[in-house]
Amino acid sequence: MSTAEETAGGEAQPWGEVTPDAARRLLLAAVEAFAERGYHATTTRDIAGRAGMSPAALYIHYKTKEELLHRISRIGHEKAVDILRTAARAEGTPAERLADAVSSFVRWHAGGRTTARVVQYELDSLGPGARAEILALRRQVDAEVRGIIEEGVRSGDFDVPDVRGTTLAVLSLCIDVARWFNVDGPRTPEEVGELYADLVLRMVGARGTGAA
Amino acid sequence: MSTAEETAGGEAQPWGEVTPDAARRLLLAAVEAFAERGYHATTTRDIAGRAGMSPAALYIHYKTKEELLHRISRIGHEKAVDILRTAARAEGTPAERLADAVSSFVRWHAGGRTTARVVQYELDSLGPGARAEILALRRQVDAEVRGIIEEGVRSGDFDVPDVRGTTLAVLSLCIDVARWFNVDGPRTPEEVGELYADLVLRMVGARGTGAA
C-alpha cells in the first residue's frame, strides 16, 4: 500500500527531527505497518522486521507498540499546529491567511496521507494519557483556524453565523483529503489546495466570493 | 467502542433487508469487530463468537471474512446511492434538492458512523472484484450529487467554476462526519445536517447565500 519513499519523502513528512536514525526508521516502519494492516494486527516484531532490526533493538527505543503510535500521533499533531499557526500569524487579510492555512493543510494531508490516516483512524487505540495529550493538540489546531475566522467576522470580511461549526467543517474537509487523495488521480496536492481555499472562502462568506 | 444497539438502532441502519436473522446478526457482529480491532486483526471465530454462534454456523452464511466486508460495503454503498437519488429526484429547486441531499447524507453518516467508518477505512482490504463493484457504486454516488450541481449551474442558481472538484469536496465533507461525530458532543445529527446544507449552498454560490 505504501512505500518507505512515499511515507518518508518530501517536505510534508515531519520525521526529520527524530533521532537517532534507528528510532526514525522504526517510526516509519510502524506507520507503514499500521496503515497496511491496522494497529491491532501489527506486532512490534513486524515493525522491527520492516525496519531491518531485531525486536530487542526496537525495545531500546520504544517500550511498547502504543508508544510508537503515540509518538507518531504527537509528531503529526505538532506539525499540524505548526502549519496552521504559521498561516494564522502571517501578514495579510483574514481571507489571505485563511486561504493560506487551508491550502497548506490540504497539501500536507495529501503528501503525508499514509501518516495522516494512521493518526486519524487509530486515535481510539491510544491509552487515556496519550489520548488526552493528543486531544489538547487538536484543540490547538481548532483554535488556530477559529481565530482567523473570528478575526474575519470582527473585521466584516466574513459572514459566519456559526463560527464553531464552520471551523469544524473547514478542518474536516482538509483532513479527509488524506482518505481520498490518490497520487494517480487527476489533481496535484497544490491544485486540491487551491480549490479548497476557494471553497472555504465561500463557506465563510468572504467578500467577493460565492453568490451572485 | 460500539454497542449492538448503536450499530443496529435507528432508521440510519440498512440491515433490515438482510435475512435470515442469523445472517444479519453476523453482519452486525462483523461491523462491530472490524470497527474495534480492524479488519486484519479480526477472525471469523471472533465474529461468530460475538454473534453467539459457532464458526461452523458462520460458514453456512459467509464463506470468508472478505465476503462479510464485501456484503457490509455493498449494502452501505447501495443505501448511499438510494439516499442521494431520492433527494436528487425530488421536487424543488436545485438548491432545495442539494440541501436535502446533504442533510440526509450527513444524518446517515452521523447515525451509522460505525458502519460508515468500516466501509470507508477498509476499502483497501477488499479483493479486486469486490473493490471494482464498490467503486462502481461510488461513481453512482458521485453522479447523483454532480447531477444536482450541474442542473443548478445550467439554471443560473449556482456559480461553480469546478463542478467535479466541488462535488468531490461536498461528498468528502459529508463522509468525514462519520470520523468526528460524537453522540456525546454538542450537536445532533439533524443540527449538523442543517449546518452542512447551509455551508454547501455557500460552496456552490447559491443565490442568496454567502458573500455580502
Residue A69 pLDDT: 97
Residue A94 pLDDT: 98
Residue A198: list chain B partners with CB under 8 A.
161
Residue B7 pLDDT: 41
% of chain B beyond a pLDDT of 70: 92
Q: What is the spatial distance between Cα A105 and Cα A83, in angstroms, rounded to a whole number?
A: 7
Tell me which of A61, A76, A104 is where a domain ends. A61
Residue A13 pLDDT: 60
Residue B80 pLDDT: 95
DSSP letter at B125? G
Q: What is the pLDDT of residues B22-46, one digit of tens each?
A: 999 999 999 999 999 999 999 999 9
Residue B4 has pLDDT above 70, yes or no: no
- Helix (H), strand (E) at residue A183: none
Q: What is the pLDDT of residues A130-180, one digit of tens each?
A: 999 999 999 999 999 999 999 999 999 999 999 999 999 999 999 999 999
Residue B40 near residue B66, CB atoms below 8 Å: no
Question: Containing domain of residue B132, as a range?
Answer: 65-203
What sign results for the dihedral spanned by CA atoms A104, A105, A107, A111?
positive
Specify whether A190 is located in the same domain as A115.
Answer: yes
Residue B6 has pLDDT above 90, yes or no: no
- Helix (H), strand (E) at residue A145: helix A128-155
Q: What is the ipTM of this complex?
A: 0.91
Specify whether A52 is located in the same domain as A71.
Answer: no
**B209 vs B140, residue with greater confidence:** B140
Specify whether B87 is located in the same domain as B177.
Answer: yes
Residue A112 pLDDT: 92
User: Does residue B208 lie within any of the structural domains?
Assistant: no
Specify whether B120 is located in the same domain as B48.
Answer: no
User: Does residue B210 lie within any of the structural domains?
Assistant: no
Q: Average pLDDT across each block of 10 residues of chain A; the chain has 212 residues. List them in order.
A: 39 73 95 95 97 95 96 95 97 97 97 93 94 97 98 98 98 97 94 98 86 43
User: Does residue B209 lie within any of the structural domains?
Assistant: no
Specify whether A111 is located in the same domain as A170.
Answer: yes
Give buried/exposed letters for B74-97 (b at 16+ CB in 10 A, else e): bbbbebbbebbbebbeeeeebbbb
Q: What is the spatial distance between Cα B149 and Cα B133, in angstroms, rounded to a whole number?
A: 25
Query: Which CATH number characterizes residue B55's domain?
Result: 1.10.10.60
Specify whether A104 is located in the same domain as A169.
Answer: yes
Residue B12 has pLDDT above 80, yes or no: no
Mutate to test the interface with A, among B172, B184, B191 (most CBs of A within 10 A): B172
Residue B212 has pLDDT above 60, yes or no: no
**What's the mean pLDDT in B4-32?**
74
Residue A15 pLDDT: 83
Count residue pairs from A and B with Cβ separation < 8 A. 114
Mutate to test the interface with B, among A43, A166, A202 (most CBs of B within 10 A): A202
CB contact under 8 A, B176 and A172: yes
Q: What is the spatial distance between Cα A60 and Cα B45, in angstroms, rounded to a whole number?
A: 35
User: Does residue B178 lie within any of the structural domains?
Assistant: yes
Contacts for A22 with CB less than 8 Å, ≥ 6 apart: A51, A53, A57, A60, A61
A64's grid cell:
511498547
Specify whether A117 is located in the same domain as A57.
Answer: no
Q: What is the spatial distance between Cα B202 and Cα B212, in angstroms, rounded to a whole number?
A: 12
Number of domains in chain A: 2
Specify whether A35 is located in the same domain as A100.
Answer: no
Residue B188 has pLDDT above 90, yes or no: yes
